[in-house]
Amino acid sequence: MRFHGVACNARLGDLKDEEQKMSEKIPLLIDTDPGVDDALALLMAFNDARHDIVGLTIAAGNVGLQHTVRNALKLCEVAGRDDIPVFAGAPAPLLHPSPDAGYVHGQDGFGDVGFPPAARRAEAEHAALAILRLSHEHAGQLVLVALGPLTNVALALKLDPTLPQRIARFVVMGGAVTCHGNITPAAEFNFYFDPEAAHLVLEAFDRYDLADWEATIAHGLHHERVAAWLRADSARARFYDRISEKTRSWSADRRGDHWFAADALAMAFVLAPEGARELAQRPLAIELQGAHARGASIVDWRREGGQPDKANILLRYDQDRFEALIEAALAAG
């Protein structure tokens, strides 16, 4: 009996150690519209020992909400992460309908490869409500990451404007800080898809970290290096190779030797902020009107408007660190 008692105590000790380790991890909530580059960012987060992913809230954006939810569930299943709850969000932007990016990611958002749906379903709780609940459960510790249009975060803020008080760090993939856009000449996709949401959200936070499209372009991934990483003997690499083939080919045909994974760079900034090599803090506003510039992120580089420096803009990141995080994420599992 004593022996049995000793064994139980040892197991109890292990459990306590495990709980202790989990409680020391940084709680991470990711709002995302998977999307192929979102999927790479998620694989990076799945492979990070310092963060505990408390949920994925799903936005419409790259493709419709049914596809983005299905893709998030499938990626969790492939990565063996069915422990992460998935919450469906808003099916459309707050005010005006917007075109998706199926031409980049495939009509289903994951390269149109026709994989069977995951066995699991999304939670019943709406993404906006999940964001608020998790912000209370992890008040003051929660890192919130937005990799898609900001519709869900905007809805959460309209329900509870005190949300930013409970967020330790807010990281956004979006914008083009000198208006070199990717969906219109001046605007980047996430902000263009729901400019009203972007405006509401970025005005509500006193400070946020921003990884924009121009930083993405400055940190391209050579197609041949990506292909080498995808030859890793892992289920994650094999799955990602399949779902990303279409968008990588599309990119090679139109953008040259390098592939640009916006959400992956944003996630590197989230997981390893010490890899940032150059940052700039400036006021930033979202253009809501205009025939040519709706959705553009207007940075007051000369600080002429007297507004606060809310945007902590990533200008340069350690490329080797960035690529090492991606390579490790694909080889994991």
Name the residues annotated as catalytic.
258
Does position 41 interact with Ca ion (CB under 5 A)? The reply is no
User: Cα(150)–Cα(108) distance, rounded to whole angstroms?
Assistant: 20
8 Å CB contact between 176 and 186: yes
- To the nearest whole angstrom, how small is the minimum distance from the Cβ of residue 240 to ligand RIB? 14
Does position 173 interact with ligand RIB (CB under 6 A)? The reply is yes
Residue (35 or 333) nearer to Ca ion, CB: 35
Binding to ligand RIB (CB under 6 A) within 246-275 occurs at 262-263
Give the interface segment with ligand RIB, choosing from 31-39, 46-54, 133-141, 307-315 (CB under 6 A): 31-39
Does position 100 interact with Ca ion (CB under 5 A)? The reply is no
User: Cα(118)–Cα(73) distance, rounded to whole angstroms?
Assistant: 6
Does position 61 interact with ligand RIB (CB under 6 A)? The reply is yes
Among 31, 48, 100, 188, binds ligand RIB (CB under 6 A): 188
Does position 190 interact with ligand RIB (CB under 6 A)? The reply is yes
**Pattern 95-124, binding to ligand RIB, x per CB under 6 A?**
------x-----------------------
8 Å CB contact between 171 and 209: yes
User: Cα(331)–Cα(90) distance, rounded to whole angstroms?
Assistant: 33
Closest by alpha carbon to 208, among 261, 141, 282, 267?
282
Does position 38 interact with Ca ion (CB under 5 A)? The reply is yes
Does position 35 interact with ligand RIB (CB under 6 A)? The reply is yes
Question: Applying CB under 6 A, which residues contact ligand RIB?
Answer: 33, 35, 37-38, 61-62, 101, 147-148, 173, 182, 188-190, 213, 262-263
Question: Applying CB under 5 A, which residues contact Ca ion?
Answer: 33, 35, 38, 147-148, 263
